[in-house]
Amino acid sequence: MAALGTFLLLASFVVCSYAAVASVIGARRGSRSLVESGTGAFHLVAALMTCASAVMINAFLTDDFTIKYVAHYSDRVQPLFYKITSYWGGLDGSVMFWVFLLSIFGSAAVYVNRERHRELIPYIVATISAVQMFFLYLMVVHKNPFTTFVTAAPAEGEGLNPLLQNYWMAIHPPSLYTGFVGMTIPFAFGIAALITGHLDDSWLRAVRRWTMVSWLFLSFGLTLGMIWAYEELGWGGYWVWDPVENAGLLPWFTATAFLHSVMVQERRSMLRVWNVTLVIVTFFLTIFGTFMTRSGVVQSVHAFGEDRQLAWLFTIFMIVILVFSFGLVIHRLPLLKARNELDSWLSREAAFLVNNWILLLSAFLVLFGTMFPTLSEALTGERLTVAGPFFNKWLVPIGLILLALTGVGPLLAWRRATVRNLADQLLLPALGGALALGAVLALRIPIWSAGLCFGLCGFVTATVAQEFWRGARVRRRNTGTDYFTALVGLVGRNKRRYGGYIVHVGIVLIFFGFAGNARKLDNQVTLKPGADVKIGRYTVRNDGIKVSDDGQKQMTTAYLSVFVDGQQIDGMYPARWAYRHHEQEPTTEVAIRRTAAEDLYLVLAGFDLGDQSAILELHVNPLVNWIWFGFGVMALGTGIALLPERSFAFALAKLPAEAAATTSIALVLALTFFGGATTVRAQRGMGGSEDTRSSFYARTPFEKQMQHEIVCTCGACGHQNLAECRKDACSTSHQMRGELAALIDQGKSHDEIIQAFMNKYGSQEMLGAPLDSGFNRLAWLVPYAAGAAGAVMIGFAAMRWSKRPETAAADPAPARDPALEDRLDDELRDLD
Amino acid sequence: MTHRNIKIGATAAVLTLAFVGLMWSTLRGGTEYFKHVDEVMVDPQAWHGKQLQLHGYVVPGSILKKPNTLEYKFKVQNNPARAPEAGNVVEASYTGVVPDTFKGEAEVVLKGRLTPDGFHTDPNGVMAKCPSKYEAAGKSAASGT
């Protein structure tokens, strides 16, 4: 199977290069058939990558530990769900998953736009193919996920890291990748438009929706990462400006900027160079973020491996991207001239421009702070780091300015706003802000920065409410319906604008949640049984510690009672779990009591079974849940903005993006209300616990040869051979090297030593040649194929139905919902 | 036209100056030296009192904890625990809750200050290397706790 996988990757690379070359030559020669064959090859890459992914997942499901990657990230006892998610659990697989997603996205984008942007297609195909070729090359020559063991296949894999066996962690990377990968599509359109010179605004309209989908997934991925950190890592927070987090945030800033400035170009034909630049920069930052986290350039407490060769490959690729893209931009500058000038600084355009600058400044600052250690080392030789305080000092005020702009922007008129008009518009929002500020003062919340943030939240909410109210009033007057129908009709008529406003409400809620940090309480105590501690309005009492065992792990649970005003309101049970073979690495299971106002977050940091005392870390995190809820609102708004221009709710099945939006809302809601401190875990491989320092470096060539022939069985190192397995604190390889040295000292021969190891370890675990698993494993593919076919059929059916709403088959509640009916009437009337 | 250019130029200059000034002031307050144990212990006096991020490995079996408190004392060495040589060793102290991954042999980064009687770690200043998706976590070893 591994050979099949490698072959598929190689084939993808070859087909991909053909697609790139054929479509470019076809476009230049005006040969339609050549372009079509290039496009066909491009779709073939998607098919090949799908097959390769199926082979990989099949390998995980059948525990094919002959493949190094599978052995490294899975084991037999791992639950099915995590076996599948292990596909993207490591570097090699994540690169492959990246190419898979890109090929699917690319195919979809090319298919959707095949008629509308015929002249751009060949170059879009070529650009995406070039990006795919880079990643395929990376895999084929350097990081092949299908590499098998040369010497021996282990009988058991090492298993996915327990910390990563968390529901949120399983869906966080695909979401983030989808966001990252999706940014390639606008880039490809931009490059194609630059090459062909078709630089009117039509390519922008084509990519706007793709960018929005990618942006949504990126936001979703970032949120999931925060939730994971909050629930699993047990330090009471969700964001620490770690390089890995920052890598995801960078393209988010520029994509957000693009989604705003694109409106200026559509309306006023300004900022045309700027928009192309933003698209390029966003794509560049996705590659740069990948580079940063995978190559070891930036030191992080996340243990990303250092990999010089990978770093070089990425560097070359990034230089090519920059030179090529900006070369094209400069080449096309005459065509990109703005057709209008900024009329006034008091206008919507100007507000968008300032918003863009600030977002870009944020991206720059985050990039600067993240790269600062590397920069300072290169310049001065001293490795200096900047930490949270630097980021907070800069990004808190910047965030507040952005929030303020969110409120002011929609009030400004295009071209030129008059002061009088603005004052009129500002009245209500300012009142909202003042009210919020009054509440802040009454609650004695410090004005900087939380108080100001709350005030601005009030201001922006009032702005959005006013926009909705005014729009609905006008519409009611024009159509003669009630307010609610008018409101729904309003949103339906201008989905992008009002969807955008809903996104702003989501942002306000997220900021609201951030501001809660100001009232955060922390404490660390040792509690004897019966003793209690006060934090905020809560009193927490230790009722004792109990140890239980479920066969897989030993669980030490603190039984805590929570009181408010002398009344017991809850029992909370933070725990530490020690898995079999991992007794020295207990995991922390936090207990969180969620309410809309605040979370009580308890961590069992340590315990003494002798006197039943518990060492507790207590946090009260106000308003945290509003961050997650705000994301849900944001997703809802994006979903509305993504709805097709003309069709309405029944066309939902047409676009996968809306389905995604709905799903994420459901997920976020589910999380907000049901999320608990429970996690699913599985065992990992064997561990060692011997304390030794020296490491038996080979003394003779023979010993060296033997060390290379035998692989380590510890389960931590990815079954490296004994000579190589040194970087981890691996006692097993140390011990095995010792045994080898002893056997050599006894004068044993090659075969005798092998035999001795086989006898000792009871199998050929460290020796056997990869087993030929045979094609019967293809049978595993059948259910997936059936599932995929079903999904395709449903998709087709849904598309069909959504095209003919009058058949009413796709309407989830046909003629039952008077509001929807009215809304439809409304819509139809407006279409006339 | 020139009048406009002067205006733009002046605005840009003021903004740039303000930006650089702010950057300078925040960086001065916010930077910390990132140093390995060996780099610091060559001339410990030179580092006394400076805000540091100290990178090293916890010496196996060196973690001591005062019963019923959150006070830790441990040693950090420059090289990984199983390297042929340990490199320089520095004593460190910390009060608070340590991460799960903090134990003998763990790769750590400590935030704090060096003093004549050892390295004083700031509250929440212990960062032990997280197991990541991209590299298997270092296997456990004898722990001092």
Instruction: Report pLDDT digits (tens) over A517-563.
Output: 888 888 888 888 889 999 989 999 999 898 988 776 788 899 999 99
User: Taking a contact as any Cβ pair under 8 Å apart, which residues of chain A between 301 and 320 contact chain B?
Assistant: 301-305
* Residue in B29, B68, B136 closest to A613 by CB: B68
Shortest Cα–Cα distance, B94 to chain A (Å): 13
Rounded Cα–Cα distance for residues A2 and A660 (Å) = 33
Peptide bond into A449 cis (omega under 30): yes
Backbone CA torsion sign across B78, B81, B82, B87: positive
CA distances to A342, A655, A745, B5 from A338, in Å = 10, 33, 80, 19
State how far the Cα of A163 lies from the Cα of A233, in Å rounded to an integer: 8
Phi, psi of A13 (to 5 degrees): -60, -45
Q: Which two tokens stand for residue A533?
A: 């501690």
Q: Which SS3 state, helix, strand or coil, does residue B81 take?
A: coil
Nearest CA to B113 among B130, B94, B89, B96? B94
A216 near A176, Cβ under 8 Å?
no
Q: Are A391 and A241 in contact (CB under 8 A)?
A: yes
Min distance B121 CA to chain A CA atoms (Å): 16
Q: Does B32 touch chain A (CB under 8 A)?
A: yes
What residues in B contact A524, CB-CB < 8 Å? 70, 96-97
**Contact, A538 vs A508, CB < 8 A?**
no
Residues 6+ apart with CB under 8 A from B94: B71, B72, B73, B74, B110, B121, B125, B126
Q: Give B48's DSSP letter.
A: B
Residue ranges of B 78-137 with Cβ closer than 8 A to chain A: 80-84, 86, 96-101, 103-105, 107, 109, 111, 124, 127-137
Contact residues on chain A for B32, CB-CB shorter than 8 A: 384-387
Is the Cβ pair A690, B29 closer than 8 Å?
Answer: no
Q: pLDDT digits over A69-126, tens only?
A: 888 888 887 788 888 888 887 788 888 999 999 999 999 999 998 888 888 999 999 9
pLDDT of A668 higher than 50: no
Percentage of residues of chain B with pLDDT beyond 70: 86
- Residue A377 φ then ψ, to 5°: -70, -40
pLDDT reading at A243 higher than 60: yes
Contact A602, A591 (CB under 8 A): yes
Q: Report CA dihedral (A809, A812, A818, A823) to the nearest 10 degrees.
A: -80
- State how far the Cα of A595 lies from the Cα of A133, in Å rounded to an integer: 49
Half-sphere exposure (Cβ direction) of A469: Cα atoms closer than 13 Å:
9
Candidate from B34, B111, B141 with C-beta closest to A384: B34
Q: Inter-chain contact B97–A587, Cβ cutoff 8 Å? A: no
- Residue in the block written with tokens 């705000």: A630
B24 vs B14: CA distance, rounded Å: 15
* φ, ψ (nearest 5 deg) of residue A76: -65, -35
Run of H or E including A568: strand A567-572
Cα angle, residue A233 at apex, residues A230 and A236 outer, rounded to 5°: 50
CB A542 within 8 A of CB A529: yes
Cα A690–A692–A695 angle (5° rounding)?
A: 120
Region of residue A794 (left: phi > 0; alpha: psi -120 to 50; beta: else): alpha
- What would the two tokens of residue A757 be? 């190891």
Residue-wise pLDDT for A439-479, tens only, equals 888 888 887 888 899 999 999 999 999 999 988 888 888 88
Which band of pLDDT confidence, cut at 50, 70 and 90, is reported for residue B129? low
Q: Which residue has the higher pLDDT, A143 or A130?
A: A130
> Is the ipTM beyond the 0.95 threshold?
no
Least confident of A2-16, A458-472, A499-513, B84-98: B84-98
CB B87 within 8 A of CB B121: no
Most confident among A603-612, A764-773, B98-107 (mean pLDDT): A603-612
Q: Does A755 touch chain B (CB under 8 A)?
A: no
* pLDDT on residue A711: 63
Across the interface, whether the CB atoms of A89 and B136 are under 8 A apart is answered no
Q: By the 8 A CB rule, do A729 and B139 touch? A: yes
Q: Over the stretch A647-656, which tens digit does the pLDDT of each residue have?
A: 444 333 333 4
The Cα–Cα gap between A558 and A612 comes to 9
Residue A828 contacts by C-beta under 8 Å, 6 or more apart in sequence? none
Instruction: Give the model's pLDDT for residue A649.
Output: 43
CATH class of segment(s) B32-128 = mainly beta
Q: What is the pLDDT of residues B45-104, one digit of tens each?
A: 888 878 888 888 888 888 888 877 778 899 988 887 777 787 888 899 998 878 777 877
Q: Residues A274, A342: contact at Cβ < 8 Å?
A: no
What is residue A65's DSSP assignment?
Answer: T
Which residues, 6 or more positions from B11, have their beta carbon under 8 angstroms from its beta carbon?
Answer: none
pLDDT digits (tens, 9 = 90+) for A776-818: 333 334 444 555 566 555 555 555 544 444 433 334 444 445 5
What is the length of chain B?
145
**What is the three-class DSSP state of A208?**
helix
Give the orientation angle of helix A121-137 with respect to helix A2-29, to 10 degrees: 150
Q: Which residues contact A103 (CB under 8 A, 6 or more apart)?
A: A12, A45, A46, A48, A49, A50, A132
> Which residues in chain A are closer than 8 Å to B101, comparing Cβ atoms?
585
**pLDDT in the model for residue B130:** 52
Give me the phi and psi of A599, to 5 degrees please. -105, 135
State the nearest Cα–Cα gap between B89 and chain A, in angstroms: 15
Question: Could you report the per-residue pLDDT of A387-431, keeping only the tens digit for each?
Answer: 777 888 888 889 999 999 998 888 888 878 788 888 888 888 999
To which residue do tokens 């979370």 refer?
A599
- Rounded distance, CA A262 to CA A259, Å? 6
Residue A830 has pLDDT above 60, yes or no: no
Least confident span in A70-84, A131-145, A491-505 = A70-84
Sequence spans of domains, chain B: 1-31, 32-128
Q: Is the pLDDT of residue A631 over 80?
A: yes
Residue B144 near chain A (CB below 8 Å): no
**Contact yes or no for A584 and B103 at CB 8 A:** yes
Instruction: Report the half-sphere exposure of A658 (CA within 13 A, side-chain side).
Output: 16
Q: Phi, psi at residue A544, to the nearest 5°?
A: 120, 170
Predicted pLDDT at A712: 63
Q: Taking all residues of chain A, what is their mean pLDDT, rounded to a whole number?
A: 79
- Taking an 8 Å cut-off on Cβ atoms, the answer to whether A688 and B31 are in contact is no
Q: Check if the beta carbon of residue B138 is closer than 8 Å to that of residue A716.
A: yes
Contact between A687 and B139 using a beta-carbon 8 Å cutoff? yes
Residues from chain B that touch A234, judged by Cβ atoms under 8 A, are: 100
Assess contact for A120 and A113: CB atoms under 8 A.
Answer: yes
Q: Do B81 and A729 touch (CB under 8 A)?
A: yes
pLDDT for res A85:
86
Given B82, B96, B130, which is nearest A729 (Cβ)? B82
The answer, for A455 touching chain B at a CB cutoff of 8 Å, is no
> Could you give the CA distance from residue B99 to residue B86 in angstroms, rounded to a whole number?
23
Helices (H), A679-780: 701-709, 731-745, 750-761
> What band does A484 get if pLDDT is binned at 50, 70 and 90?
confident
| Count, residues in chain A | 832
